[in-house]
Structure 1
Amino acid sequence: MALLLLGLLALLGLWGLLCACTHTPSTAPRWPPGPRPLPLVGNLHLLRVSQQDRSLMEQLSERYGTVFTVHLGCQKTVVLTGYEAVREALVGTGQELADRPPIAIFQLIQGGGGVFFSSGARWRAARQFTVHAFHSLGVGRQPVADKVLQELRCLAGQLDSYGGRPFPLALLGWAPSNVTFTLLFGRRFDYGDPVFVSLLGLIDEVMILLGSPSLQLFNIYPWLGALLQLHRPVLQKIEKVRTILRTLLEAQRPPTLQGGPVQSYMDALVRQCQGKDPEGLFAEANVVACALDMVMAGTETTSATLQWAALLMGKHPGVQGQVQEELDRVLGPERPPQLEDQQLLPYTNAVLHEVQRFITLLPHVPRCTATDMQLGTYLLPKGTPVVPLLSSVLLDKTQWETPHQFNPGHFLDAEGRFVRRAAFLPFSAGRRVCIGEALARSELFLLFAGLLQRYRLLPPPGLSPATLDTTPTPAFTMRPPAQALCAVPRNQGTD
């Protein structure tokens, strides 16, 4: 009997989806072109599971142009590819394209709250609050630079303990993660601290789950995903992270005196939720949601980028050597890098920018039309998901001389001066440009320059640079594959 009931429910679900696919009225008179969808699956059969962005760029965009419609299951989605189309949409549309679509797993995790997957008034309040809090904490200025340099010394101590022997690449992620934790919680953690170890382990597991095919299936067919319980593993991990965050939030109560300086992001959140909040935008659930967003995103992206930078230096020893020659000439062996040194280190700066361009860490994060809107010659109804494909911008052959090669020359002129490129958009653009961009830029520069000033990054003994694997491992971001490097002190005689 139970099996019969289950079968009837499944048939009803399929019938409902087929009706949605074939009978959904559209308020938009002009959709971009795109492939004809199949019942239920839409155009999913045309996309590679592991690298959907490459399928969209290399196959569909070539056929249908830089703006096209694709059906992800029964969801009509507009995809933007290439610098011109993405920039026009993100920069030229104001609030019209500032919302997020209701992605099923993030609706369950955050309930429409937080910083990254919220929309409307809740997003504007959370973003304005976070920008103000980061400014108060010295992000992009010397106070945070000092914290990064302190973390660099701690990371160097860990690397020194290996004595030039192979270390796991993931170890490099400890430093940027701890800088984020210092800003969020007001103190750094020892690398062996149980809270630090637990948080990093949970974040790692969550990010892998969020990029898994099962979660992609859940987001496309939430009813089927719920039936198969595809969301349970990630929700269980998230709840463990929330438990840690609630404990750390409680440690901030009562906060420091209201007139005193803000000590951490958590301190600022506690003050905010204890102040006047007539619209309830900073109720307890949203406070935890904001903290969760900052913990997850603030650790994953910068941590993965620093690991990529080290891996690519091991892969390209000639580039690494030129960076170190410049560091030696400008800084010498002892003086640690400072934020203002970026102007004096054009090649180092160019290499770090090229790392971020080449790895296309976050291929896309969808937007959603907040109102009926004109996009070029097309008219999209309110609520249309729009995917600005950032990887298509960072690999746009009209903007980069050798888009699929690691080439620091993309950011240098004929005289070796650093050149800013308009198509460098790893942090996105417009109203929803990455809120942590200033923090990420300063962290990456100081940690990258500091590591290469002190160490030669080499493949493990017996391996050549060519054997290092740079095939991305899909997670929520495009991570480097797990492997080992050697950090050999450059001044063996004095270390």
Structure 2
Amino acid sequence: MAIYPEFTEDGVVVRCSTFRDRMWNVIFVDGSYLTIGLLTLAFSLICRQLMTTKKKDRLPPSPGIAIPVLGHFYLLDEDLRITFKRMRKTCGDIFFIQFGSIPTVVISSYSNIKDGFMSSNMFLARPRLFMLDKITNGGKGILMAQGEDWKVHRKFSLSTLKQLGMGKNKTVQSIHLEAKAFVEELKDTKGEPFDPSAMISSHIANIICAMTFSERFNYSDPRFQKLLKMFEELNVRSTASLANFFPWIAKLPGKFTGVEKMKGHVKELFSYIDDIVEEHKTRFDENNLQDLTSAYMHELRQLEKNAITTSVMNFTYLTSVITDFFVGGIKTTSSALSWCIVCLVEHPDIQENICDQIHACVGRERMPSMEDKTDLPLVEAFCMEVLRVCNVPAILLHSTSCDVEFKGYTIPAGCMVLPDLVSVHKDPEIWGDPESFRPGRFLDEQGKVINKKEFLPFFVGKRSCIGESLARSELFLFVSCLLQNFIFENPKDEAVTVKSVDGQFGIVHEPKPYRIVAKMRK
């Protein structure tokens, strides 16, 4: 026989005979802790719902319903330029999308990007993405670092590169050496069709090698080829990159996701660079600091001598800094130079005008130098137009470290923020005819280069590219040296254009593989 609890009602003992009566007795008569707990839970859930609704109401507009797990992935095109352009028409210049588990705000138009990134510090943080965390050793280095770590290493890198002559004599010598080697390799093609991408990557990589650890590799060197292959496979368009937005993918069994393969490449890459650092230790000379690695070691020894133990600088971080220089310095510049060749082939009239200026001002007896820059404005204007039209780089990753009020919206802490540079570089109100390839838009009536404030390939603000000077020098000297010696043409029955080789739109916008012909100028 069941025994039910009792309670008093007007002094009379009443036996509970129903489930409702029993619950009433437990919850409301005994003054149970369960009462307090349940009421607190209910109140918390209601408050949370109200706060969430209020926060959502203050988010930028969204293009549609975010599906659980997927978010807005079902609305994305393979080419995010198309996606952002379509969503901008629907939602305006600032809109919210959910990349899987990553809340994201996209900011378009020059005025908004200027206000958000140039005039304030509200978007200085970097998003924590699963695979990028693996590649950057937990956000170390410069590209994805944050807070004090980022400030210290950015300041060190900028001052060191300046001391090493970035964009000046020493760096120019390295660029000249690689440009000359590239010219010799092109001669060996003897007018036959070829794909220039591997050559370009190897020479740009050697410039970074010289700058970071004073070493140059032969193109056929197996170690060098392995290094380039690892960087090639560490690209954000791989299947494994989906784990950035769906971290649970990394836990799936099997090898089809590619996550374990990418982790292996990262581990091997760090090990490779660690070996280089160890070699530097054996031949370190504090009176002869010729590269970034030796300069970093010198800084570590100074900290040790002064018994400073609070610095964020250490050998583990050095490996990440070197890796960042390779990641940031090879892919973007190689892609830009590849696009330069595409545009030269597509616009033979522009190619000939530039060549005429080079031959008139420099001649053919010596290689062009940075001192010739003011006399060769067509080269610089051409390179600027390539960067504008071909969107290099394509996407820059930023984030909020706290709730941010921007343009009437609340962007929550930890939200990824993407500046839409295409919206600036293809804005008809700024450029008039943005879809046309016209280098002359960067020249004034006297033929001198105009530096337009809306030209943002190296971005703006404190997170702007620290290698801008180097990249500009590389493009200027490579294009000048190539056009001094060669005519670039389509192979027979093939047409290379920006449209025909329009590549994958990711962090870096690369052209699809293509072939061209390089004929020696007579």
Structure 2: where are the runs of 5+ without partners?
1-47
**In structure 1, C-alpha distance between the alignment counterparts of 2:345 and 2:366, rounded to whole Å:** 24
Name the amino acid aligned to 2:175: V
The aligned residue for residue 206 of structure 1 is 234
Give the corresponding residue for 1:226. 251
**Alpha-carbon separation, structure 2, partners of 1:468 and 1:390:** 19
The answer to which of 387-396 and 422-431 deviates more is 387-396
Change (3 A) 1:465 1:81: same
2:168 aligned residue? 141
Shift of 1:453: 0.8
- Which residue matches 2:475? 444
Distance 1:316 1:377, change over 3 A: same
Q: Is the 8 A contact 1:133 1:265 kept in 2?
A: yes
- Change in Cα spacing, 1:76 to 1:424, as seen in structure 2 (3 Å) is same
Which secondary structure state, in structure 1, belongs to the residue aligned with residue 277 of structure 2? helix
Select 1:158's aligned residue among 162, 180, 185: 185
Q: How does 1:125-274 map to 2 (within 5 A)?
A: 125-170=152-197, 171-207=199-235, 210-212=236-238, 214-227=239-252, 229-254=257-282, 256-258=284-286, 260-274=287-301
Q: Please state if 1:315 is matched with 2:358.
A: no
Residue 418 of structure 1 corresponds to 449
Residue matched to 1:345: 376
Structure 1: gaps of 5 or more residues: 1-20
Partner-residue secondary structure (3-state), 1:399: helix
* Residue 107 (1) aligns with residue 156 (2): no
RMSD of aligned alpha carbons = 2.3
Q: Give yes or no for the alignment of 1:383 onto 2:410.
A: no
TM superposition score normalised by structure 2? 0.84
Tell whether the 8 Å contact from 2:343 to 2:497 is kept in structure 1 after alignment: no
CA contact (8 A) 2:395 2:508 kept: no
Task: State how far apart, in whole Å, the 2-side matches of 1:289 and 1:222 are.
Answer: 22
Q: One-letter code of the match for 2:364?
A: P
- For 1:220 and 1:51, how far apart are their aligned partners in 2? 17
- Which of 41, 51, 71 is equivalent to 1:42? 71
Deviations for 1:95-122, whole angstroms, at most 9, x for unmatched residues? x211101111111222121110111111
Q: 1:23 to 1:309 in 2, by over 3 A?
A: farther
Find the aligned partners of 2:302 and 2:282 in 1 and give their Cα distance.
13
Counterpart Cα distance in 1 of 2:407 and 2:374: 38
What secondary structure, in the 3-state scheme, does the structure 2 residue paired with 1:77 have?
strand
**Cα distance, 1:36–1:311 mapped onto 2, change above 3 Å:** closer
Match of 1:297 among 306, 324, 328: 328
- Superposition pairs of residues 61-72 of structure 1, within 5 angstroms: 61-72=88-99
Give the whole-Å Cα distance in 2 for the aligned partners of 1:62 and 1:466: 28
Q: Which amino acid aligns with 1:219?
A: N
Q: Distance in 1 between matches of 2:150 and 2:52?
A: 29
Distance (whole Å) between structure 1 residues aligned to residue 109 and residue 74 of structure 2: 23
What are the superposed Cα offsets for residues 213-240 of structure 1, whole Å, 9 maximum, x if unpaired? x234211110233325542222112222
1:478/1:464 CA distance change after superposition, 3 Å:
closer
Q: Could you tell me whether the CA contact under 8 Å between 1:255 and 1:271 is conserved in 2?
A: no
Provide the secondary structure at the position in 2 that maps to 1:167: coil
- What is the identity percentage for the equivalent residue pairs of Structure 1 and Structure 2? 26
Q: Which moved more, 1:240-249 or 1:225-234?
A: 225-234
Q: Provide the secondary structure at the position in 1 that maps to 2:86.
A: helix
1:90 shift after superposition = 0.9
Against the structure 1 CA distance between its residues 65 and 168, is the aligned structure 2 distance closer, same or farther, given a 3 Å change threshold? same
CA distance in 2, matches of 1:325, 1:335: 15
Q: Which residue of 2 aligns with 1:6?
A: none
Please state whether the residue corresponding to 2:59 is helix, strand or coil: coil
User: 5 Å matches for 1:354-393?
Assistant: 354-393=385-424
Rg bigger for which structure?
2
Change (3 A) 1:115 1:335: same
Aligned to 1:285: 316
- How many Å apart are 1:412 and its aligned residue? 2.2
**Relative to 1, partners in 2 of residues 1:45 and 1:176: Cα closer, same or farther, differing over 3 Å?**
same
Task: Sort the Cα spacing of 1:166 and 1:206 in 2 relative to 1 into closer, same or farther, 3 A.
Answer: same
| Structure 1 counterpart SS, 2:428 | coil
What is the CA distance between 1:127 and its match in structure 2? 0.8
Where in structure 2 are the equivalents of 1:324-339 lying within 5 Å?
324-339=355-370
Aligned residue pair count: 464
Structure 2 contact 342–497 (Cα < 8 Å) conserved: no
Match of 1:15 in 2: none
Residues 353/466 of structure 1: CA separation in 2 closer, same or farther (3 Å cut): closer
Q: Assess if the C-alpha contact under 8 Å between 1:354 and 1:408 holds in 2.
A: yes
Shift of 1:476: 4.2
Correspondence for 1:31 among 59, 68, 86: 59
| Aligned residue number for residue 9 of structure 1 | none
Shift of 1:348: 1.6
Verify the 8 A CA contact 1:357 1:426 in the aligned structure 2. yes
Asked if 1 retains the 8 angstrom alpha-carbon contact of 2:380 and 2:449, the reply is yes
Assess, with a 3 A threshold, how the Cα gap between structure 1 residues 342 and 294 changes in structure 2: closer, same or farther.
same
Q: After the TM superposition, list the runs of 4 or more consecutive aligned residues in structure 1 that deviate by more than 6 angstroms.
A: 21-24
SS in 2 for 1:100: coil
1:235 and 1:67 map into 2 onto residues whose CA distance is 35
Aligned to 1:16: none
Query: Match of 1:226, as an amino acid?
Result: K
SS at match of 1:101: coil
1:75 maps onto 2:102 in alignment: yes
Give secondary structure in 1 for the equivalent of 2:234.
helix
Q: Distance in 1 between matches of 2:170 and 2:416?
A: 39
Q: CA deviation at 1:194?
A: 2.0
**Distance verdict in 2 for CA 1:409–1:432, change over 3 Å:** same
Instruction: Report the more deviating stretch, 460-469 or 109-118.
Output: 460-469
1:83, 1:274 → 2: CA distance? 44
Instruction: For residue 405 of structure 1, report the CA deviation from its aligned partner.
Output: 2.5
Residues 382-413 of structure 1 show CA distances to partners (whole Å, capped at 9, x for unaligned) of 32221111222222222112222322122123
How far off is 1:418 after superposition?
2.0
**TM superposition shift of 1:272:** 3.2
1:13 corresponding residue in structure 2: none
